[in-house]
Amino acid sequence: MKSDQASRGGRPFWTVALRGLALGALALAGSCVSPAPEEGAPGELTLERVVMFSRHGVRPPTRLPVLPPGYAREAWPAWDVDPGHLTARGYEGARLIGAWTRQNLAARGLFAESECPAEGAVFVRTNTIHRTRESGRAFLEGFAPSCGVPIAHSAGERDDPLFDAIDLGRAPFDPAAARAAIEARAGGDLAMSVARVRPAFDRLSEILGCCAPALCQEAGLSEGCSLGDLPHVWEDTPANRRVRFTGPFAQGGTAAQSLLLAYVEGKPMREVGWGRASAQDIALLSEIHAVEFDLLARTPYIARRAAAFILDHVMETLRAPQAPALSLLVGHDTNIANLGGVLDLHWRVPGYAPDDQAVSGAIGFELLRDAQGRRYVRVFYQAPSADQLRALTPLTPDNPPYLAYLEQPLCAMREDRSLCRLEDFLRTTDAVLVRETDG
């Protein structure tokens, strides 16, 4: 099902009539907001609804060649689908996490175990490209097979501001300010972030066979330089567009992610890093990708703008009098990192570095109610481990995916740092977002 949601500011179609309920912007990014006085820890909590934002399933690299000449001494292994498309095994991995989510939510009383959900009980919206649309379809095949739950997405090609607010020019964004914020987050010099994960860069250089003499010479370095030695260079950025750089994190993050994707795709180990990479190496190299995204997507100046449409959707869904029991958005690792940066959330999926965005992993928001009718929000991260995805292991209560409730620094209750009162979550989240109207 296609929709015209982009023309409505990225809001889900069922909330258009509820727009008058939206909270106004309380403050610009960087505000310090303290929770209101607490009423004591709640007792038993009942789950009312869930909003999830998921990364798509396994895909090949989005471009060929994966890296420019000089970074790898051998050709990258071929894949059997077009660059960036969801693979058949990626589809199955997304189906398995959908089936497990149904089991989990049924055990908690939100859905029946097997029958089709009531009409309107499940809402799915994806970005427009193949891997996100197909991941949404696969999730539903596991969650509600043959039930005909529609999938909403905008009609164009990556034209939905919910997933691409900065690149579509729908967020007030100054590239110079973004670069300064990234450099400050790195400690004043991007090279300082390389030092944090130097063992990962050294191991990646060994696996790639980086760097070719011509690449070292072009960078003004002596022959035998490694990937971590290369300089960082900011790319020219059009006004009001996301900033990017070349150098160790740009090329290293792409390489590390490509090796991870080959691993979770289940490729023979002789095709994962040309037979030179182990499962332990894949987890180590994930540190490069995690730090790259910590800089480019979790930096608050960027995250508070890039995630504004997503979190507006989350807040509207949580506070609406009538809303789907499950709302699922399917997008990208960048979106997940943006959410983590805004809310200061942290996780670690087995097989990945801390805070790296797992394939088919999701951030979820639970709306809970206590016996007195007071409502609370818990945030979780769920994902199959790298090895579960590689083996396409069925996910069951005896073999569950990674699932962790996360501390919420913006609004956490003293008695339970994973729990916020609904009104505190709405107020503090709204206050740190930066939208078009903020200028």
Provide CB contacts within 8 A for 106, sequence distance 6+.
112, 113
Provide CB contacts within 8 A for 51, sequence distance 6+.
313, 314, 317, 318, 326, 327, 329, 364, 365, 367
Rounded distance, CA 381 to CA 340, Å? Answer: 10
**Alpha helices (H) along 229-346:** 248-264, 279-296, 300-306, 308-319, 333-343
- Coil, helix or strand for 183? helix
Catalytic residue set: 56, 333
**324: part of which helix (H) or strand (E)?**
none
Beta strands in 148-235 (DSSP E): 151-152, 233-234
Provide CB contacts within 8 A for 363, sequence distance 6+.
52, 53, 336, 339, 340, 345, 379, 380, 381
Closest CA to 314 of 330, 305, 327, 303: 327
Rounded distance, CA 418 to CA 158, Å? Answer: 34
